[in-house]
Amino acid sequence: MLTNVRKLAFGSPLPTAEEVHQRLTKVQALAVFSSDALSSVAYATEEILLVLVVAGVAALGLSLPIALAIAGLLAIVATSYYQTIHGYPSGGGAYIVAHDNLGMWPGLTAAAALLIDYVLTVAVSITAGVAAITSAFPALLAFRVGLCLLAVALITWANLRGVRESGTLFAIPTYGFVFIFLALIVVGLARLISGTLSPLPAQTPAVAEGSIQALTVFLILRAFASGCTALTGIEAISNGIPAFQKPEADNAGKTLIAMATLLVGMFLGITFLARSLGVVPVEQETVVSQIGKQVFGYGPFYLALQATTALILVLAANTSFADFPRLSSILARDRYLPRQLANLGDRLVFANGIVALAFLASTLVVIFGGQTHRLIPLYALGVFLAFTLSQAGMVRHWQRESGQGWHWKATLNGLGAVATGVVLLVIVTTKFAHGGWIVVLLIPGFIWIFSAVKHHYVTVAEQLSLEGLRPEEWEGLASQRGHKVVVPVSGMHRGTLAALRFARSLSKDVTALVVDVEPEVTARVREKWPVWGHDVPLVVLESSYRSTIGPLLAYLDEVDRREPESGLAVVVLPEFVPARWWQDLLHNQTARLIKNALIYRRGQEGKDRVIIDVPYHLRR
Amino acid sequence: MLTNVRKLAFGSPLPTAEEVHQRLTKVQALAVFSSDALSSVAYATEEILLVLVVAGVAALGLSLPIALAIAGLLAIVATSYYQTIHGYPSGGGAYIVAHDNLGMWPGLTAAAALLIDYVLTVAVSITAGVAAITSAFPALLAFRVGLCLLAVALITWANLRGVRESGTLFAIPTYGFVFIFLALIVVGLARLISGTLSPLPAQTPAVAEGSIQALTVFLILRAFASGCTALTGIEAISNGIPAFQKPEADNAGKTLIAMATLLVGMFLGITFLARSLGVVPVEQETVVSQIGKQVFGYGPFYLALQATTALILVLAANTSFADFPRLSSILARDRYLPRQLANLGDRLVFANGIVALAFLASTLVVIFGGQTHRLIPLYALGVFLAFTLSQAGMVRHWQRESGQGWHWKATLNGLGAVATGVVLLVIVTTKFAHGGWIVVLLIPGFIWIFSAVKHHYVTVAEQLSLEGLRPEEWEGLASQRGHKVVVPVSGMHRGTLAALRFARSLSKDVTALVVDVEPEVTARVREKWPVWGHDVPLVVLESSYRSTIGPLLAYLDEVDRREPESGLAVVVLPEFVPARWWQDLLHNQTARLIKNALIYRRGQEGKDRVIIDVPYHLRR
């Protein structure tokens, strides 16, 4: 039954042999890998304006020079990643590049930064996507947290089923978004030049973080830092090189150039339009929506703009649902994270990583009330840390390889490392007080977890190892007989009889126990025992805290103490199993609680206890 | 470790003997039982205005006559409940009264209605309480869903620890609220008469549900139905009679009169002030907050008003955290709900009911975006259904008892039943389209669940009964020997050896199984088997879906089919247990998954399988 529900929701299990990788053309690859990067133009400009507006509406004019600076940075980073693509044609994620070239700790730092940013990518993209919808339908604004959670749930479901990185599926929303966004810019510019587009009426900004502040260098740098979210996702292509058609590295490089060009054009275009129209950031409507309404008017084009914006942001979140489980499975294989994260599920996806990501992102959405601009101070910090470590690793890589012209290559990556490193410092400094500190604390926290997990696995392997044992020692014990057996009894029924029968087949030393939680039940057991209990003695245990488990464990401990010489203490548990799984919810599952308590408690004097389950199946 | 965390958070377990009931004075009892009823004045007026405003600001004048009608209804219901108190001095909840006098189905209907309304009381009270806070601090408005969830979590925690219905603890916020609310009305009226209080400036209502509609009778009835939420909680005293000092029924009756008087006074007073000041309901501020600001000015009195409003609403939610678990435990004792709901936890509270309530209320809060006025159409429907059934039951009760003057008593309760029955019809009709249908569907759904659960328990008891069995049948099987034993092996380590040793002590017919999920692991087991496996044969099972469990079950089924004559199939599972509970998260827990799969699957030919756990405890 449960299996059928599962099949219906997530599809039938796939055999391991079906794990194949589709090769993508450049056009498909651009759609698959660029949604994260391109979608950031939906909110990056707004985040710059939201910082500047604190210094008054006049300060908004600075958005254009800031956007130009970010475009320059983007060019440097893209060039640097172009090199990475050719240096690591098998896929050069920041963790791999930093681990290979700089060592374990820088590798783990990059991994921690990336995991955090994948979670933030989901939260930021989903909240921004929902903002695109609520801008068009303000009545939905009140439900934004619920809508965000619904969107995360849908993406999670799709990923658990296993979405193939299907070029065609991704192409429609991505190219749709690019097309309509470019149309917005072109039509907007044309109408500006022809003088048919008037600026928006003056609005009071709703999201002023206090009264007007002075326009300090710090504030400008903070606006720059907020805008740097435009660069997130630019590394996606270098992670996915093996998915390209041959020659992989060449095609990936060309795709990267196309993506960077589009990104720069769209980002500068929308920022220029926002300035020319005098857009002021407000709470209930996004900047892109304001521009869209003014340029297109409220109609099909405007609605298409909002719809494709929401869709590409969902795709951007979806990218993290591929990246986070993949990186955490690599870390789990290297024993830095729980090994469950490396399990390929029924549908050939890393299901545990997907669920973990969904949970973390949903928590962020609820805590931050579904508001993009409150999440932004936490965002991009991890990405730039990973950028810096990965570029620095590439410098080392070229130096080690010492191939033709390695000096040039190392210099280019070095320039990237220095640029992203400086921006990282700017981001940490300006965002620290607004929430960046959370990420600054989380990164060492993650690294600590990574090393604690590794330590645990190493310790367990040592303890379980057969090294130093002699087979003869174990041989001798096989003849061990005369186990001491106890049977906890919850009432006189057929399940109890089945357990007693099995217990008596094991040993002559059997004792039945009843814990006196409900006096009527105890009395009934006592009354029927002479008939059904055969020769097995019945012991009644008192319970003053209504607990079945406490007195049971106390009794076992006492037996251990009294008879340290006796054999293994074996506990036989009668357990009746309902005919359908959901009926389990209607029973106390005391047997299961006892099992858990017994497994975790080592017996006195280091004796382990064996637990035996005798199921009695109900038929209706 | 886990036990310690639990103790710290929820306190040490309490012995059953400590379950005593505190007796309350009338003053204390008013505080304990009236928070739910009195707190509704914080939102009832607003809900009337929110409906009327749809017909334009001019229609708001109708709020006063509507409030007067509700006050009349309240007088009838209070009189009727005064009778119930004297008829059921041991506590007369709607479920008990309806079940006793009208039979099972009306009893279950009342129970379903009450359970649903307890959940809604939590959701409505918490969202209204958070609205009181966000009215004073609008910056928090964006976080209202998060704040609501936090408040539910805090109340849940307090109830899991076990809050005694401490009169003193409850008295401060309740009387504080009554005092400041009455002060608001008195000061407001005095300032109105002296002419120092000016009406609020005209505002456009933010929550118009569409454009202006005509002021129909239907709309007026809907406003009346929304305002009837003021009556919720009035039944609380009749449920809690045993908590009063002697003579219980007399004291309870007097307390009920005091509560009804206060409720009528506060409700009419605030509605009159709202009219006189021309308050218009808006999205971001409550009606009471608007009046408070105008009467007191933004200062300590206003803030005290908002704070005590929020507090009493939290107490109102807390009332449901006593009522819901109590009612569901009664239903569970009568076998209409899972019996876990009847378990008294470590702290002498019905922990499962508390957690269930918290979960359901939180879900409602998220779905309805933390907005009181969206929840209101669902609310009060259940309460009035329970009112009607309980009053009708009382009519029957007096008739059966035929005591002195039973005609009078029956007539009074009959009047109550008719009045609440008519209002119930009004509520269902006017709220149906706005969300009431959800409750109308849920009530039969709950009743269906109740009877399905009952049916299940009856069936299980029949199947487990020893009736018709002869003890000799079971006696003979005790000597059964020669079990067929299999040991699934996940790798060669000390845990495997311990399991093998125990298996060999049970039977001579032992087979070890390894499922070939990771080829390297299988190869290592095969290599070491000759040394460590002794005489036990090793079977390797193929797995094409990366599943350990599937091939295992298939093998067991095949053995059953091949050797239908052989003894019970016993599965011995090696399970290594980490030194600390959290380390469990780092392991695959395959043993646990196998156990679950085996327990739920009956063997071929109806043979049950016994599962044996051999734990191997790690020390670090």
- Predicted pLDDT at B2: 61
Query: Whole-number mean pLDDT of chain A?
Result: 86
What is the mean pLDDT of the segment spanning A230-241?
87
- Pairwise CB contact (< 8 Å): A469 & B494: yes
- Outline where B137-216 has alpha helix (H): 144-161, 167-194
Other C-beta atoms lying within 10 Å of the C-beta of residue B217:
7
- Outline where A16-103 has alpha helix (H): 26-39, 44-52, 63-87, 94-102
- Pairwise CB contact (< 8 Å): A595 & B585: no
Q: Which long-range contacts (CB under 8 A, 24 or more apart) does A99-107 make?
A: A100/A393, A100/A397, A101/A393, A101/A394, A101/A396, A101/A397, A101/A400, A102/A389, A102/A392, A102/A393, A102/A396, A105/A447, A106/A389, A106/A392, A106/A393
- How far, in Å, CA of B46 to CA of B375, rounded? 13
- Please give the residue of chain A at the shortest CA–CA distance from B467: A493
Q: Which two tokens stand for residue A144?
A: 């934004």
With beta carbons less than 8 A apart as the criterion, state whether B335 and B457 touch: yes
- Pairwise CB contact (< 8 Å): A457 & B586: yes
With beta carbons less than 8 A apart as the criterion, state whether B259 and B37 touch: yes
Nearest to A72 by CA among A228, A270, A176, A221: A228
Half-sphere exposure of A581 (CA within 13 A, CB side): 11
Q: Does A464 touch chain B if contact means CB atoms closer than 8 Å?
A: yes
- Considering only the beta carbons, identify the residue of B459, B611, B613 that sits closest to A620: B459
What is the mean pLDDT of the segment spanning B163-171?
68
Residues of A in contact with B531 (CB under 8 A): 471
pLDDT bin (cut points 50, 70, 90) of residue A476 is: very low
Instruction: Please check the confidence at residue A15 and state whether its pLDDT lies above 80.
Output: no
Percent of chain B with pLDDT over 70: 92
- Pairwise CB contact (< 8 Å): A366 & B149: yes
- Considering only the beta carbons, identify the residue of A366, A463, A506 that sits closest to B146: A366
d(CA B615, nearest CA chain A) in Å = 6
- How far, in Å, CA of A80 to CA of B436, rounded? 60
Dihedral angle sign, alpha carbons of residues A278, A281, A285, A289 = positive
What is the mean pLDDT of the segment spanning A235-246?
84
- How far, in Å, CA of B153 to CA of B146, rounded? 10
Q: Does B546 touch chain A if contact means CB atoms closer than 8 Å?
A: yes
- Considering only the beta carbons, identify the residue of A369, A471, A608 that sits closest to B532: A471
Q: Given the structure tokens 């120092």, which residue do they identify?
A: B196
- Predicted pLDDT at B478: 42
Q: Does A602 touch chain B if contact means CB atoms closer than 8 Å?
A: yes
Instruction: Please check the confidence at residue B19 and state whether its pLDDT lies above 70.
Output: no
d(CA B77, nearest CA chain A) in Å = 36
Calculate Rg over the CA atoms of chain B: 32
Which amino acid, residue B472?
E
pLDDT tens string A104-123: 999 999 999 999 999 999 99
Q: Does B615 touch chain A if contact means CB atoms closer than 8 Å?
A: yes
- How far, in Å, CA of A309 to CA of A287, rounded? 12
What is the mean pLDDT of the segment spanning B198-211?
66
- Pairwise CB contact (< 8 Å): B534 & A615: no
Calculate Rg over the CA atoms of chain A: 32
- Predicted pLDDT at A603: 63
Q: Does B206 touch chain A if contact means CB atoms closer than 8 Å?
A: no
- Considering only the beta carbons, identify the residue of B463, B494, B532 that sits closest to A620: B463
A281 prior amide bond cis, ω within 30: no
- Pairwise CB contact (< 8 Å): B465 & A493: yes
Instruction: Please check the confidence at residue A388 and state whether its pLDDT lies above 60.
Output: yes
pLDDT tens string A117-145: 999 999 999 999 999 999 999 888 888 89
- Predicted pLDDT at B520: 86
pLDDT bin (cut points 50, 70, 90) of residue A441 is: very high
Percent of chain A with pLDDT over 70: 92
Residues of A in contact with B612 (CB under 8 A): 610-613
Return the higher-pLDDT residue of A566 and A113: A113
- Outline where B432-544 has alpha helix (H): 436-464, 471-477, 494-506, 519-532
Return the higher-pLDDT residue of B166 and A383: A383
pLDDT bin (cut points 50, 70, 90) of residue B268 is: very high
**ipTM over cut 0.90:** no
Q: Which two tokens stand for residue A282?
A: 């407000």
Q: Does A524 touch chain B if contact means CB atoms closer than 8 Å?
A: no
With beta carbons less than 8 A apart as the criterion, state whether A561 and A604 touch: yes
What is the mean pLDDT of the segment spanning B267-276?
95
- Pairwise CB contact (< 8 Å): A615 & B595: no
Percent of chain A with pLDDT over 90: 45
Return the higher-pLDDT residue of A94 and B91: A94
Return the higher-pLDDT residue of B13 and A89: A89
- Pairwise CB contact (< 8 Å): A338 & B586: yes
d(CA B602, nearest CA chain A) in Å = 7
pLDDT bin (cut points 50, 70, 90) of residue A191 is: very high
- Outline where B88-143 has alpha helix (H): 94-102, 104-136
- How far, in Å, CA of B114 to CA of B384, rounded? 9
- Predicted pLDDT at A455: 92
- Give the residue from A344, A456, A518 with the most B CB atoms within 10 Å of its CB, the best one to mutate: A456
With beta carbons less than 8 A apart as the criterion, state whether A40 and A261 touch: no
Helix (H) or strand (E) holding B406: helix B406-431
- Pairwise CB contact (< 8 Å): B15 & A340: no
- Predicted pLDDT at B511: 93
Q: Which two tokens stand for residue A254?
A: 């060309």
What number of residues does chain B have?
620
- Please give the residue of chain A at the shortest CA–CA distance from B528: A466
With beta carbons less than 8 A apart as the criterion, state whether B488 and B517 touch: no
- Contacts of B332 by beta carbon, 8 Å cutoff, 6+ apart: B338, B339, B340, B341, B342
Residues of B in contact with A475 (CB under 8 A): 534
- Pairwise CB contact (< 8 Å): A463 & B619: yes
pLDDT tens string B548-590: 888 988 888 888 778 766 666 889 998 888 877 777 777 767 7
Instruction: Please check the confidence at residue A165 and state whether its pLDDT lies above 60.
Output: no
**What's the DSSP call for residue A478?**
T
- Pairwise CB contact (< 8 Å): A505 & B483: yes
Return the higher-pLDDT residue of B562 and A263: A263
- Considering only the beta carbons, identify the residue of A339, A463, A546 that sits closest to B588: A339
| CA–CA distances in Å: residue B365 to residues A143, B166, B368 | 10, 28, 5
Return the higher-pLDDT residue of A264 and A322: A264
Q: Which of residues 98-157 of B touch A (CB under 8 A)?
A: 142-146, 149
Query: Whole-number mean pLDDT of chain B?
Result: 86
Convert B122-136 to b/e letters by CB count within 10 Å (16 or more is b): bbbbbbbbbbbbbbb
Q: Given the structure tokens 């000096």, which residue do they identify?
A: A407
- How far, in Å, CA of B230 to CA of B34, rounded? 12
Which amino acid, residue B344?
L
SS3 A280: coil
- Considering only the beta carbons, identify the residue of B474, B492, B620 that sits closest to A466: B492
pLDDT tens string A67-103: 999 999 999 999 999 988 888 887 778 898 999 899 9
